[in-house]
């Protein structure tokens, strides 16, 4: 999580310096706000010093803040301009720093309380720019209630193991095959524990389906965990001489469910979209989430995601990659 502090006051900047040990703190002049806001990621925290604003400017600024629902805002009010502090919180602000509180430095403990209070949710409103609103068809009892030939809403996870040709050239066809098979079997079992089913397999590519469930953050959490541990996975489980490089895309959409043998015959916009994205949009070796699933990015890892270019009417976010070895 990054913390952005917009203030023109040196004193207020210095009061925040104690949190820079534990958090990424960016202190900027207030007039930098408009240029900066588009690069702020969901889950980040912005503190805005309102000292000296006219009431019109204040009203306008607060309205602007409320439009960025995925970002968390706190107000710094050194001259007690805000008439109703409670209204700020009702409107979704997550902190208010009063004149009295500015007598002391802002502590990491305060930021922690803010995080706990707001729980830093990326709200459903972020999904509003999704091109086609989804008519949710929830399988009530998960896989148990799914019947062939009926349409349901699924989280669709596309997976591709990258640099296969390179692996084949360096380590041979057989070894690469065994790596692909082990990765697939591992992911089948790994996502199986998250109710994911391996639905389509094609050499180094795979598609998993997870029946729709509200706020199912576990899928993204699972992929994050897998990527964090890809060194251990590559070295210990695969016994690979190199770190494997996977691409993931997660999207939510409706699919007519057919069994695994017939899965290639299922036609849906969501499937077309994810295959288009896989072939024409993604940069290999990244984890992308479409706007349809922004709302299930778990709060503690929201800052690991940054905005990516949109594609075929959908916004995307991409997870920051771990920098490994001398690439750092």
Partner 1 sequence: MKADKDFTKLVAQSLSESIDQRSMVHLAREIMPEYNIESYSNLPSSLDIPRLDVARQIVADMNNFNLLIPFVNVFFSIQSKGYKGRKYKISKLRSIVVKLFDMGFSIDPVTGQVYEDPQYRISKNWGVLQEGIDYPFTFVWYDIVESSIHLKKNSHRDVLAFYQKYHNLVRSSTESRNGRIWHIEGDGILTAFHFGDHSSTALFSGIEVLHSLYKYNLFENVLDNPIKIRIGLNTGVTDYIENHDMLKTKEPVKDVINLEKISLSDTIVATNTVMTSVEGVLASVFEFKDLNKKGSYFVYDVKWEN
Q: Is 22 in the site for partner 1 (CB under 8 A)?
A: yes
The residue within the footprint of partner 1, chosen from 34, 83, 140, 323 (CB under 8 A), is 323
Q: Is 172 in the site for partner 1 (CB under 8 A)?
A: no
**Is 123:295 a contact under the CB 8 Å cutoff?**
yes
Site for partner 1 in 268-307 (CB under 8 A): 300-301, 304
For partner 1, the closer of residues 91 and 236 by Cβ is 236
How far apart CA 254 and CA 268 sit, in angstroms, is 7
Among the candidate windows 42-50, 76-84, 106-114, 193-201, which touches partner 1 by CB under 8 A? 106-114
Q: Is 119 in the site for partner 1 (CB under 8 A)?
A: no
Cross-strand bridge partners of residue 32: none
Candidates 158, 182, 272; CA nearest to 233 is 182
The residue within the footprint of partner 1, chosen from 99, 104, 112, 276 (CB under 8 A), is 112
Q: Is 240 in the site for partner 1 (CB under 8 A)?
A: yes
For partner 1, the closer of residues 1 and 127 by Cβ is 1
Q: Is 109 in the site for partner 1 (CB under 8 A)?
A: yes
Q: Is 309 in the site for partner 1 (CB under 8 A)?
A: no
> What does the block give as tokens for 15?
């009061």
Q: Within 10 Å of residue 194's Cβ, how many Cβ atoms?
A: 17
Site for partner 1 in 194-233 (CB under 8 A): 225, 228-229, 231-232
Question: Containing H/E element for 10?
Answer: helix 10-16
Q: Is 322 in the site for partner 1 (CB under 8 A)?
A: yes
Number of shown-chain residues binding partner 1 (CB under 8 A): 27
For partner 1, the closer of residues 125 and 322 by Cβ is 322
Characterize 23-43 residue by residue with b for buried, 16 or more Cβ atoms within 10 angstroms of its Cβ, and e for exposed: bebbbbebeebeeebeebbbb
How far apart CA 223 and CA 69 sit, in angstroms, is 25
Please state, in angstroms and as integers, the Cα–Cα distance from residue 273 to each residue in 8, 45, 154, 193, 269, following that order.
46, 32, 14, 26, 6
Minimum CB–partner distance for residue 209 and partner 1 (Å): 26
Candidates 321, 319, 295; CA nearest to 307 is 319
Binding site for partner 1 (CB under 8 A): 22, 108-109, 112, 225, 228-229, 231-232, 234-236, 240-243, 300-301, 304, 320-326, 328
């Amino acid at each position: 999580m990054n913390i952005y502090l917009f203030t023109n006051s040196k004193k207020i900047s210095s009061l925040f310096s104690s949190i820079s040990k534990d958090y990424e703190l960016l202190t900027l002049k207030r007039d930098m706000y408009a240029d900066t806001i588009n690069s702020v990621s969901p889950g980040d925290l912005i503190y805005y010093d309102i000292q000296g604003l006219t009431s019109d400017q204040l009203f306008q600024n607060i309205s602007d803040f409320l439009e960025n629902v995925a970002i968390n805002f706190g107000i710094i009010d050194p001259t007690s301009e805000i008439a109703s502090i409670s209204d700020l919180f009702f409107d979704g602000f997550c902190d208010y720093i009063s004149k009295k509180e500015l007598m002391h430095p802002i502590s990491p403990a305060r930021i922690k309380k803010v995080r706990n209070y707001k729980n830093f949710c990326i709200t459903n409103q972020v999904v509003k720019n999704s091109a086609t609103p989804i008519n949710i068809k929830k399988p009530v009892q998960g896989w148990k209630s799914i019947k062939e030939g009926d349409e349901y809403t699924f989280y669709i996870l596309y997976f591709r193991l990258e640099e296969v040709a390179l692996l084949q050239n360096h380590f041979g066809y057989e070894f690469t095959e065994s790596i692909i098979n082990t990765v697939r079997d591992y992911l089948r079992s790994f996502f199986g524990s998250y109710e994911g089913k391996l639905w389509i397999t094609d050499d180094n590519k795979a598609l998993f389906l997870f029946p729709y469930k509200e706020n199912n953050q576990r899928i993204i959490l699972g992929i994050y965990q897998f990527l964090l541990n890809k060194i251990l996975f590559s070295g210990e489980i695969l016994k690979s001489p190199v770190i494997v490089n996977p691409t993931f895309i997660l999207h939510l959409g409706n699919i007519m469910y057919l069994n695994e043998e017939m899965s290639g015959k299922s036609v849906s916009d969501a499937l077309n979209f994810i295959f288009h994205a896989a072939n024409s949009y993604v940069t290999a070796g990244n984890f992308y989430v479409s706007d349809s699933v922004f709302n299930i990015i778990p709060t503690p890892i929201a800052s690991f995601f940054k905005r990516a270019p949109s594609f075929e009417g959908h916004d995307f976010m991409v997870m920051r990659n771990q920098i490994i070895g001398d690439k750092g």
